[in-house]
Amino acid sequence: MRFWKLESVGNDFVLVEGDRANLPQLARVACDRRFGIGADGLLAAWMQSGILNLRMFNPDGTEDFCGNGLRCALWHGLRRAWFERPVVVRHFGRDVTARWGEDSEGLVSPTIETDLGRASWRPEDVPLAEGLPEFAPAHAEVEGERLELWSLSTGSTHTVVFCDRLPESPRFERLGRALEHHPAFPERTSVMFAKVVGRRQIRLRIWERGVGETLACGSGTCATASAYVRKFGAEHSGELRVESQGGVLSVRLHAWDAPLVLRGRARCVFEGELTWPR
């Protein structure tokens, strides 16, 4: 089975072409960093009726929406000459419009913009447990600490926790795991620990549901931007610089409930063949 290994701001993926019935099982095998290729997720991409179709699976086999995976799949499609710009990507029930510049730098893509639509704070969209109001914010006791939680969906469930200092290990893992599996989130949640370092500048440490710590998260970056503007006011909207351990992404929004535009690059690291265990 031919595969491509791609990454964007340290968020790495194994990509295969075409839809397959065994993708959840393949994700568990291919994403294993010791016995497989190693990745934060598995992408399956293919063209159909002029639309780029994309599925993403976490290393535990669960399917999800992925902002950085979108950019990696777009760069793969560009390299394979599947389409011309702009293009629509159909991913996890959403149609995402993408644009990019003319230039490319060797194996690094041009800057790619994706329109991720509006964040939803509706409890049923996040989703939150039945009967809970919007977490905008909510306060909860987690592992003996009182935390302020901002929970929303940008295609995937995210909870943003603003901090004066980003949590260090092992506190980071303890809080991330506890929040992911908190009863308030029936489908679990990813957690964005966020520190505001300047006007429209945010630094993240990321715990992703179904993965654990990752170096970046595109949909989580957008969720953080929406929560930041909702918490601190519309005067903080505009072009936001969001830094994670893997690098920097830019988000543009004009209000906390306005459309989100995510911008960044991607890269193909290597390609090869995977022997599928039978």
Q: Which of 156, 170, 164 is nearest to 125 (CA)?
A: 156
Catalytic residues: 66, 217
DSSP state string for 40-96: SEEEEEEEETTEEEEEEE-TTS-EE--HHHHHHHHHHHHHTT---SSEEEEETTEEE
| Contact of 30 with 274, CB cutoff 8 Å | yes
Closest CA to 50 of 90, 79, 83: 83
Look up residue 114 and give its two tokens: 């994706």
Handedness of CA 4, 218, 103, 51 (dihedral sign): positive
Q: Is-contact 274 23, C-beta < 8 A?
A: no
